[in-house]
Structure 1
Amino acid sequence: MKTVLLICVLCVTICAQVKLDYYLPKGEYSYDENIPTPKKFLGYEVGEWHVGHDQLINYMKKIAQLSPRFSFSEYARSYEARPLIVLTITSIENHKNIEDIQKKHQKLRSVSTDINISTMPTVVYIGHSIHGNEPSGANASLVAAYFLAAAQGEEVEKLLQNTVILLDPCMNPDGFNRFASWVNSHKSKNAIAAAINREHIEAWPRGRTNHYWFDLNRDWLLTQHPESQGRVRIFQKWQPNILTDHHEMGTHATYFFQPGVPERTHPLTHSKNQPLTKKIAKFHAKKLDEIGSLYFSEERFDDFYYGKGSTYPDVQGAIGILFEQASSRGHLQESEHGPLSFPFTIRNQVQTVFSTLEAAQELRSELLEYRREFYASSRSLAQKDETKAYIVGDNKDPQRLLQFSQLLQRHDINVYHLAKPITVDGLEYNEDNSLLVPANQPQYLLIKAIFEKRTSFADNIFYDVSAWTMPLAFHLNYAQLKNKAQLTYLQGKNYQHPTVTSSFDKNAYAYLFTWDSYYAPRALNRLLQNNIKVKVATKKFSAIVNGQQRDFTYGTILVPMGIQSDKKQTSLLMQKIATEDYVQVYSAKTGFTPIGMDLGSGNFRSIKPPKVVMIVGSGVNAYDAGEVWHLLDARFDIPLVMVDVEHFSSLNLNDYNTLVMVDGGYNLNQSNVKKVQSWLQSGGTLVASKRAINWVASNQLASVAFVANGTNPSNQRLPYATRVKNEGAQITGGAILQGKVDLTHPLLYGYHNDLIALFRRGNMALKETQNPYAVPVQYSEEPLISGYMSKENQQHVKNTPAIAVYGKGNGKVICIADNLNFRAFWLGTNKIFMNAILFGNLIDSGSTER
């Protein structure tokens, strides 16, 4: 008790003593009185409260108005309409020539070697708090901005002349504001350091993520969100020499800066990257030594996945640097090193901002030369590579292909139409359904990282995923072009938005559209929400459309005009979905078909509007829940009710036809279990993924059984020091596996290939079901396509169900072993998930277990 009281007294004293000079660099500086200090503008000292996002932006805007060293630019808006900004900070002379400076940096990617780098400034991107509940970085940006605007002296002028600083004060406005509101709302006048205090324990889903609960630091390469798209646009526009990414970690840690674990660097990273990173690290060490802060490097964190802010630059001629500060997770918290105050965490971040700028200035020539050498080396590697280009295509869905092309273009990768058709490995790629990506272009190494399949690694432990092969994620066919001469006649115009041609007949008997388009679920939902009667084909058939016979397959959507209450409104809506949802609409004049079922057949099943509820809250994986929310809300405009676990008892489940339970642990009492059982008996559809399947099994909602994992080591004695490595080798943190699919099953409507790439985390394996028709997707005999998965775990999951469907009375339980919506970029399996929601109740009892 005495210890706790002493800590509280010490902490109150520490917080009370902090003034602005606690943070500012030491030296002979004077300060421009026209530039307001953070306290003068905000009304409190930095670290006294957590700055709100609006306050942060307003301060930056104010000093940008007052300082000729600053320019202010908004580069994106978050989902909650908050501005994301970047401040360009440099000397007044450099500002006058800013466009010329920018163009010279861009030329370092080109073949030009006559650029004089002796007078060029380095470009440094300083990025803060991409995780909203890691606030010391964004609060440190207040101090950094003030110093760079107000400090006077020869040293400052020299720094500004030799560097262009891109200061991004907060990369995740929505999560940052959520967290600041939480900790400020729970701050006591007397600082409370106890870890159990409510201030330090955020409510689910916490402030780490953006509005839809995505980790934006995993989205640099994927660019699925407006925050990332804007940020990458700035990166590609400026092509900085250094990018810093300021984070926080556990309270009992110290301070980390890169390089990370040496053997966990991606093999495509240039050999000089890590030595340069280590050179810069010496500047951080010196600054932290000056104030006596503990720190570490070359352990725990790695440089493998190129989708993180600290690694994305490494494959583009820059140095990415991760900083991780032990977090106070509020204003004050006890730690094994003593009381950890919010101001202390801010000061460390400030120190490494300025150590980075010192390094950028001192190593200016070396950093600029490295960038030039990187791209010269990249060109040389591209010329030697037997792969001259990648051809990517999809005969059925131009939308996934379009989104893939847009992703590439966001990274300054040139993408072209095919000028002529070509057949590779038995697949035809033509002008309308394919794109071509030449390998020999400045972003060669990034292209390689996007397309490659990799299954061998120097180390088998990964901080994040081990694979992200983009064409597989988008479920696109792709091939390598190895004949350089073919490029001269295959490379067409720059890739543009494909057009969809539809036909509309005011006297149509019915309208039809296939289930191929990525946005077909949005089109269907739009019809259903407008009370249009819609059916889906459960068999193949041919029909006369637009005066010609055409074959249609499973999942074709039928809109019979004769049974619609408002034919004119239905026709107008069909035209709207063709334009806005990119589906190709066909007009049929008769219900009589030349082959297969007629349009009035009972094998066209009526579809009900989706009424979806998802359980969220404590114990539920917020990432997976956010991915479902984003998919339904942002992409398909399908209303989603989210009910907290603790409020599930109050939910009238009969108001919904689909219940989604994503990965997580569910603390539902027996009364709630019985409610779900009764609802299933009445015809509901439960979609359960990953650990939610354990809940389904333990509560006997389906006869799910699991394959016992045989990867545990024997009882032989092993060195204690190898424990982490041995156990880590059995973790499947993110690999790509191959699944075999049943194209006749309702969950696979809209698919045409017998094989599909599935993203896999963890080692859950389902046993074969008793019913032979109940497994629409099964892992193949040799499942690993790309990434790391131990041989034992590959053996464990091979030939097991990736998806299994079980009956419960009139209802269905759809169990999905993987995450079909991973990080919003796994477009290739999104439709399976949507089929579960839209067609799950149509799965016949003969195809399920009861």
Structure 2
Amino acid sequence: MIRYIYGLLLTFVFLQVNAQNITPEQFLGYPLGDKFTFHHQVLEYYKNIAAQNPDRVKLIQYGSTYEGRPLMVAIVASPQNLSRLEDIRSNHLKSIKLTAGVSATGSTSNEKTPAIAWLGYNIHGNEAVSSETAMKVLHELLNKTNTLTQEILKNTVVILDPCSNPDGRERYVSWYNRVQNAVPDVTPFALEHDEPWPGGRFNHYLFDLNRDWAWQTQKETQERVAFYNQWMPHLHADFHEMGSARSYYFPPAAKPYHQDITKWQREFNEILGKNCRKYFDQRNWTYFSKKDYDLFYPSYGDTWPTYNGAIGITYEQGGGGRGGLALSRPDQNDTLTLKSRIEHHYITSLATLETISAQKEKIVSEFINFYDNAVQKPTGSYKTYLIKNQGNEERVRAFSEWLTKQGFEYGITGKSLTLKGTELTNLTEQNIKTETNDLLISAYQPKSNLLKILFEAQPILEDSITYDITSWGLSYLYGLQAYGIKEKLTSSPYQPEKIDNNIPAAKPYAYLARWNSVNGAVFLSELLKRKILVRSSNVPFEANNTSFDAGTLIITKKGNSVYNFDSLVTSLATKHRIKLFPTSTGSVSSGVDYGSDEVVSITPPKVVTLYGEGISTTSLGAVWHYFEQQIKYPLTLISSNKIAQLPLDQVNVLILPDGNYLGILNDKMLTALQDWIKRGGRLIVMENANEAFLNKPGFDISRKMSGPKKNTDPFRKFGARERDESSYSSPGSMYQVTMDTTHPLAFGCGKEYFSIVRNAYGIDYLSEGWNVGYLSETGYKAGFVGNKATEKLKNTLIMGVQKMGQGHVVYLMDDPLFRGMLYNGKILFSNAIFR
């Protein structure tokens, strides 16, 4: 009887423990790796575990996606640490001089701050093993019989983000679960290994979220970084997948390392790699390190945290969207399974947490030292950055909003000064006279290291073979007149200029609005949607003793019979922060009057772009996001294979994003496009889409005479092939484009236009059109360019306009919307659309 009761008691205890930590298999009803789990099921599992373990798990929704799916993290800690979680967070931020978001009631406990580790899964949606792994990691962290994970929780607060890109994951999982065989087909050419366009890698707007950490163009990134800044973890690990033929990558990272990565961060890379190797060697798993995945471009999930003082880590598992549930790899004599991929990521997840737990005191003290140095003795020559504000108020305001998102401190000069500083786009030392409202950003602040790296005009490369773009200076990206100053300056609080447009007592003849900001395009978009006639001057002019550049918007009473015209225009301008200049006459003191032929109407265009096979997902995504989320103007997407059925007579602007148009545009379609353009259509051709028009009858675009062919040396070395290829590349370097600023395509872009060059274009100048932007002999500014590519990037067309009958073709060899990074690029693209 006693034995029976004892057995019941053991069973009761087992069921209680099991209820507190139900396995993913028990919850889902199938073993992990037998199928892909939908995002909502992953979150339901997390919610179930959190509800059963309120003393060890706290679930927080930090945002939502464009499609409305929740973005959620689980914070896992020992009961002792979870009970004082807010104290840990607030004390941690205070220790590194960051107090934004710290609770006013946060205590100043003498207890030591534990290490804080953030593991991020599935930022690329079709690298779907990660979210499966995240369930297993959560379960094992709460497994009271696992001595390793219980020791980890004594020393570490663990933040688990099970899916950073739910929209992309659902796109992939929904497709795969529809087409998979009952028994996984391991045949490499089977349908279930042939993910359709656009794939699940990207978010709703087809942006790569893992390249958006610094620029924060996407909703998911903005919300994740805002939450990250509330915690500032000591370590951030990012879990990915790569090509299905590959093995597994873990640190140490490949060169180049950015020069400002600290000695300790480099050491931890080695320590962590050693621990991962131990586990992989025990299991005879293949892997590699120190190749491909470098620590340079500042907008990744490993580099951005690294430049914020953390240990930033990338893990890459062979598989990706092609991997499916199981894939035969004859060259490796194995079958890659989802179960094995889960196990690999699971092992490196625990190895990461084990390493940080063992190094808890060192990692905390080094993190504090990193921020102490940032505040007291920041790296780099410049101790203050100064941004000229006069005439660029709206651009500077947009820049200040970005600074706030990053967590940077800034202000204004508050007084007139005479200083020496280095102009950051040409690196010349100049005498500067400041105005009181010029922006000041001190290097003596907690995030100084990240600030310095993002402002770099010429980042130093230790190796020419890189994974991503090699130049990104903020003065280039925002088109700012920016200076680096070698002395420490104190700033006053910054307040953007207040815009409040009032209707004059005597209602004006017209309202004028400068055209030099992205908000100007938003304002124009809303005016056109409300059927307000807007004109624009093609030449500079002066009115009411005020100078206006070409491109200025002119909104006249004439032609606008809209009810409450004055109140509508002024309220819309105020809403979009556009300062209006009322004028009482149609005459100007210099330039042309508003009735001149040089003052043209801007009619609301019907804009169409292609979506589907052959089109670059990210190029299309940048266009789509620009219309819907930035300028709020209607855009119609059509399938690329339906272009022949497109009723061109109903279209004003057709955009061809970057892509391969070999199967999209045949000779018959090119002829139809020419006829449409001659009738007044506007064709915008981006990047590789231009290949379809090279040397085609009627289109004035051609490639320059090519030089020697690649690899003409018959005795070239096989071992040097990668470096030899790099000599022909420009993976993302910064160039100044020589612009015809009198052309409408260049209106509002300022005197200097910079572009991130990612290809050796070698395109000849237009013979009958306008060569609006081109690279001269001296255009190069920063970043790696191979010596063979350098010659192709001299005297080559970047943007041109060909008049054809009543319409135009706009050739854009470089994408002005690339990753949403280039402020002037957005203005230029607005010109291409509306002018």
**With structure 2 as the length reference, what TM-score do the two structures score?**
0.91
Instruction: In structure 2, list runs of 5 or more residues that go unmatched.
Output: 1-13, 100-107, 422-429
1:436 has 2:436 as partner? no
1:399 has 2:394 as partner? yes
1:103 has 2:103 as partner? no
Q: Take 2:63 and 2:821, find their aligned partners in 1: how far apart are those partners?
A: 20
Cα deviation, residue 509, structure 1: 1.6
Quickly say closer, same or farther: Cα 1:31–1:717, change in 2 above 3 A.
farther
- 1:88 is aligned to 75
Quickly say closer, same or farther: Cα 1:722–1:501, change in 2 above 3 A.
same
Amino acid aligned to 1:210:
N
Cα deviation, residue 286, structure 1: 2.3
Pairing 1:396-795 to 2, within 5 Å after superposition: 396-422=391-417, 425=430, 429-432=434-437, 434-454=438-458, 456-484=460-488, 487-488=489-490, 491-493=491-493, 495-505=494-504, 507-544=507-544, 549-568=545-564, 570-666=565-661, 667=663, 668-710=665-707, 712-715=710-713, 717-753=715-751, 755-771=752-768, 774-795=770-791
Query: What RMSD, in angstroms, separates the aligned Cα atoms of the two structures?
Result: 2.3
1:702–1:807 CA contact under 8 A, matched in 2: no
1:228 has 2:227 as partner? no
- 1:177 is aligned to 170
Amino acid aligned to 1:73:
I
**1:214-257 deviations in whole A, cap 9, x for unaligned?**
00000111111121122222322222121110000111111111
Cα deviation, residue 729, structure 1: 2.9
Quickly say closer, same or farther: Cα 1:366–1:257, change in 2 above 3 A.
same
Pairing 1:242-321 to 2, within 5 Å after superposition: 242-261=235-254, 263-321=255-313
Quickly say closer, same or farther: Cα 1:431–1:60, change in 2 above 3 A.
farther
Moved more, 213-222 or 726-735: 726-735
Cα deviation, residue 483, structure 1: 3.2
Amino acid aligned to 1:430:
E
**With structure 1 as the length reference, what TM-score do the two structures score?**
0.90
The size of the alignment, in residue pairs, is: 795
2:259–2:460 CA contact under 8 A, matched in 1: no
Q: Take 2:535 and 2:368, find their aligned partners in 1: how far apart are those partners?
A: 59
Q: Helix, strand or coil for the counterpart of 1:62?
A: helix
- Which of these residues, 342, 346, 349, is aligned with residue 345 of structure 2? 349
- 2:115 is aligned to 122
Q: Helix, strand or coil for the counterpart of 2:19?
A: coil
Quickly say closer, same or farther: Cα 1:769–1:699, change in 2 above 3 A.
closer
Q: Take 2:244 and 2:98, find their aligned partners in 1: how far apart are those partners?
A: 48
**1:517-546 deviations in whole A, cap 9, x for unaligned?**
3211121121122221221111222223xx
1:118–1:365 CA contact under 8 A, matched in 2: no
Q: Take 1:117 and 1:246, find their aligned partners in 2: how far apart are those partners?
A: 35
Quickly say closer, same or farther: Cα 1:196–1:713, change in 2 above 3 A.
closer
**1:732-760 deviations in whole A, cap 9, x for unaligned?**
1111101122221101111331x211111
Quickly say closer, same or farther: Cα 1:574–1:368, change in 2 above 3 A.
same
Cα deviation, residue 701, structure 1: 4.3
Q: Take 1:730 and 1:267, find their aligned partners in 2: how far apart are those partners?
A: 25
Cα deviation, residue 836, structure 1: 0.8
Quickly say closer, same or farther: Cα 1:248–1:715, change in 2 above 3 A.
same
Cα deviation, residue 422, structure 1: 4.2
**1:601-624 deviations in whole A, cap 9, x for unaligned?**
222111111211112221211111
Amino acid aligned to 1:331:
L
Amino acid aligned to 1:436:
L
**1:413-444 deviations in whole A, cap 9, x for unaligned?**
21112212446636654334x31110122222
Amino acid aligned to 1:770:
S
1:58 has 2:32 as partner? no
- 1:370 is aligned to 366
Amino acid aligned to 1:126:
L
2:509–2:583 CA contact under 8 A, matched in 1: yes
**1:321-345 deviations in whole A, cap 9, x for unaligned?**
1111111632111123311111111
Q: Helix, strand or coil for the counterpart of 1:272?
A: helix
Amino acid aligned to 1:535:
R
Q: Take 2:695 and 2:637, find their aligned partners in 1: how far apart are those partners?
A: 23
Q: Take 1:497 and 1:257, find their aligned partners in 2: how far apart are those partners?
A: 45
1:162 has 2:162 as partner? no
Pairing 1:327-346 to 2, within 5 Å after superposition: 327=319, 329-335=323-329, 336-337=331-332, 338-346=334-342
Amino acid aligned to 1:104:
N
Cα deviation, residue 356, structure 1: 1.0
Pairing 1:803-822 to 2, within 5 Å after superposition: 803-822=799-818
Cα deviation, residue 372, structure 1: 2.7
1:542–1:595 CA contact under 8 A, matched in 2: yes
1:504–1:586 CA contact under 8 A, matched in 2: no
Moved more, 474-483 or 207-216: 474-483
Quickly say closer, same or farther: Cα 1:351–1:154, change in 2 above 3 A.
closer
2:20–2:49 CA contact under 8 A, matched in 1: no
1:389–1:438 CA contact under 8 A, matched in 2: yes
Cα deviation, residue 152, structure 1: 4.0
Amino acid aligned to 1:94:
N
- 1:198 is aligned to 191
Cα deviation, residue 727, structure 1: 1.1
Q: Helix, strand or coil for the counterpart of 2:777?
A: strand
Moved more, 53-62 or 596-605: 596-605
Q: Take 1:50 and 1:431, find their aligned partners in 2: how far apart are those partners?
A: 58
2:140–2:149 CA contact under 8 A, matched in 1: no
1:821–1:829 CA contact under 8 A, matched in 2: yes
- 2:425 is aligned to none
Q: Take 2:287 and 2:69, find their aligned partners in 1: how far apart are those partners?
A: 34
Q: Take 2:695 and 2:17, find their aligned partners in 1: how far apart are those partners?
A: 66
1:32–1:150 CA contact under 8 A, matched in 2: no
- 2:6 is aligned to none
Quickly say closer, same or farther: Cα 1:294–1:713, change in 2 above 3 A.
closer
Instruction: In structure 1, list runs of 5 or more residues that go unmatched.
Output: 1-27, 840-850
